Amino acid sequence: MTIDQFNFAGKKAFVRVDFNVPLDENFNITDDNRMRAALPTLKKILADGGSIIIGSHLGRPKGPADKFSLKHILKHLSELLGVEVQFANDCMGEEAAVKAAALQPGEVLLLENLRFYAEEEGKPRGLAEDATDEEKAAAKKAVKESQKEFTKKLASYADCYVNDAFGTAHRAHASTALIAKYFDKDNKMFGYLMEKEVKAVDKVLNDIKRPFTAIMGGSKVSSKIEIIENLLSKVDNLIIAGGMTYTFTKAMGGKIGISICEDDKLDLALDLMKKAKEKGVNMVLAVDAKIADAFSNDANTKFCPVDEIPDGWEGLDIGPKTEEIFADVIKNSKTILWNGPTGVFEFENFTHGSRAVGEAIVEATKNGAFSLVGGGDSVACVNKFGLASGVSYVSTGGGALLEAIEGKVLPGIAAINE
Ligand code: 3PG
């Protein structure tokens, strides 16, 4: 069931969102996209005459810690929603229960970080380093047991459950998955954001318009093996970009200087190339690189063939010939997935390749292609270059998007559908 089929008038909704947003040292939010992305769902509930209990995590705390408190986002959330959002200093306990019970239509309560409790993740904390296997097993059993009470308590705050936390949908946690079983099928649903994300993933996995091009960046091929393998049976073109380029180049016998490389993954790189060939996938690799004599924005730079990088130099971005080749493939595509920049885009002098890829995607999108950008740094890239509005969809998911594209069933999605 989708949120549009539900009337929230007089109902209390527990809405799991992913407000895991980056904060600077003064606790200012440096990127509020995930908060903005949840607004349509929150506003629909309020417009219907419902009230909301918001649950989220922030970071990976190992217990209560001011640094990870959701109070830091309270003011901004109130501004975005246009409603004075209340706050419960603890997601469990008296305060949360009393405030949730007293909520009136149109009111919103934000609960403190759910991960202040080990029960949210269902993993034991504080185990001694020398704990025996039995002690570990007992601690695991204990937290799984208390997780039931924790989950039940969260569920007791509301009449219905809405999951709009796509960014956390790959975690089988209390508030993202287990809680769903405390609501019958007519009272649990996805929010608008979740719906949009799932549809976007579907367009690159199932409803593919060809040619389909995936641009995979990132420094390590090892962290992208499963996704690349799954994509090999879907894509027409697979562009390999970013640091993992050099593992491929070295595997083929090229000279890569001191470029980043996973020496134990050379065979894997060759194997992926072989698989691509067998499947008729056009694997597109860089032919030239922008190289630097230090890992620094101010290093000396020059361009050279990607397999002729001199000793003491490292590739930090693609070169102009590669930009042209990549852009050409992208502009001729009808479905595009971009995950990971072409170079060290945090350094201004090595952003050119990523910008060129982003611009080619925008042009293809103008010509009717569907483009999905997601997974951490590529999102930061399109935002940095002001290209976000020119692509079809920018995902709020990092790991969740990657797991979805690997073809995995995400627990947060399965729990609603069960
Ligand atoms: C993310 O930022 O990818 C999500 O909020 C999930 O966070 P996690 O990796 O700590 O579970």
The model's pLDDT over 167-217, given as tens digits with 9 standing for 90+, comes to 999 999 999 999 999 999 999 999 999 999 999 999 999 999 999 999 999
Task: Answer whether residue 375 shows pLDDT above 90.
Answer: no
Q: How far is the CA of 182 from the centre of ligand 1 (A)?
A: 24
20 is in an annotated binding site: yes
Separation in Å, CA 204 to CA 8, 13, 230, 253: 33, 32, 12, 33
Rg (CA), the chain: 23
Catalytic pick among 71, 123, 220, 275: 220
Q: Is 220 among the residues known to form the active site?
A: yes
Residue 219 · residue 248 · CB < 8 Å:
no
Nearest-atom index, ligand 1, CA of 60:
10
Nearest-atom index, ligand 1, CA of 18:
5
Tokens of 159: 């009449």
Task: Answer whether residue 1 shows pLDDT above 80.
Answer: no
Beta bridge partners of 188: 161
Residues with CB under 6 A from ligand 1: 18, 20, 60, 167-168, 171, 398-399
Residues 357-382 have a mean pLDDT of: 93
Residues 272-282 have a mean pLDDT of: 97
Q: What is the pLDDT of residue 211?
A: 98
Q: What is the pLDDT of residue 400?
A: 94
Q: What is the pLDDT of residue 187?
A: 97
Task: Answer whether residue 95 shows pLDDT above 90.
Answer: yes
Q: Is 16 among the residues known to form the active site?
A: no
Burial class (CB in 10 A: 0-12, 13-18, 19+), 363: middle
Domains parsed from the chain with CATH numbers: 12-195 (3.40.50.1260), 208-406 (3.40.50.1260)
Tokens of 385: 């270059």
125 is in an annotated binding site: no
Summarised one tens digit per residue, pLDDT across range 136-178 is 999 999 999 999 999 999 999 999 999 999 999 999 999 999 9
346 is in an annotated binding site: yes
Number of Cβ within 10 Å of residue 306's Cβ equals 26
Catalytic pick among 12, 34, 290, 384: 34
Q: What is the pLDDT of residue 376?
A: 66
Of 213, 239, 211, nearest to 224 by C-alpha is: 239
Q: Whose CA is nearest to atom 3 of ligand 1?
A: 398
Q: How far is the CA of 181 from the centre of ligand 1 (A)?
A: 23
Catalytic pick among 358, 376, 397, 398: 376
Quickly tell me which residue has 């608008």 as its tokens.
192
Nearest-atom index, ligand 1, CA of 376:
3
Q: What is the pLDDT of residue 391?
A: 98
Per DSSP bridges, beta strands 288-292 and 314-318 are antiparallel
- Helix, strand, or coil (residue 363): helix
Quickly tell me which residue has 């001191």 as its tokens.
258
Range with the poorest average pLDDT among 117-126, 299-308, 378-387: 378-387
Residues 283-288 have a mean pLDDT of: 98
DSSP code string of 215-283: EE--S-SGGGHHHHHHHHTT-SEEEE-GGGHHHHHHHTT-EETT----GGGHHHHHHHHHHHHHTT-EE
Alpha carbon distance 197, 205 (integer Å): 12
19 is in an annotated binding site: yes
Residues 328-354 have a mean pLDDT of: 96
Q: Residue 23 half-sphere exposure, CB side, CA atoms within 13 Å?
A: 18
What is the greatest pairwise CA distance in the chain? 69
H or E, element range at 376: none
Beta bridge partners of 393: 372
Q: Whose CA is nearest to atom 6 of ligand 1?
A: 168
Q: Does the ipTM surpass 0.90?
A: yes
Considering the entire predicted model, what is its pTM?
0.92
Summarised one tens digit per residue, pLDDT across range 7-65 is 999 999 999 999 999 999 999 999 999 999 999 999 999 999 999 999 999 999 999 99
Quickly tell me which residue has 């009449």 as its tokens.
159
Residue whose CB lies within 8 A of the most ligand 1 atoms, among 73, 121, 123, 168, for a mutation test: 168
Strands across the sheet containing 301-305 = 301-305, 288-292, 314-318
Alpha carbon distance 162, 189 (integer Å): 5
**Positive or negative torsion for Cα 355, 322, 392, 163:** negative
